[in-house]
Amino acid sequence: MDENRFRKCSVAQRLEHLKAHGIYMGSRYHGGHHVHLYGMEGFYCEVWMRTGLQYVEWIEVAKNTEILSEYVKVDVQSLL
């Protein structure tokens, strides 16, 4: 499924597709949410879950490089 078709799906459909085809990349906290990044077929998406609750509030395509860079953790000492 490409990005445009993914965007047209409901949250429930996005979640099912993500479970079947997504590759977990990392997590971050933003406000009151625990946000999980998944790699899809040619794009990334974020799964937003309210902190402390075990349900998905929404799933969106992630394109902002500043936000995507929050998932990258570099241990500078290991590079020296």
User: What pLDDT sits at residue 74?
Assistant: 58
Tokens 């402390």 locate to 52
Residue 67 domain flag: yes
Whole-number Å distance between alpha carbons of 49 and 57: 5
Please give the share of the chain, as a percent, with pLDDT higher than 90. Answer: 64
How confident is the model over 49-63, as a mean pLDDT? 91
Q: What is the CATH number of the domain that holds 40?
A: 3.30.67
Residue 79 domain flag: no
User: What pLDDT sits at residue 76?
Assistant: 57
pTM of this structure: 0.82
- Token pair of 70 as six digits: 């929050």
Residue 61 domain flag: yes
Residue 9 domain flag: yes
Residue 76 domain flag: no
**Does 73 score more than 90 pLDDT?**
no
How confident is the model over 49-68, as a mean pLDDT? 89
Residue 77 domain flag: no
**How many domains does the chain divide into?**
1
Query: Which residues form the domain of 36?
Result: 3-71
- Token pair of 75 as six digits: 């241990």
Whole-number Å distance between alpha carbons of 31 and 8: 26
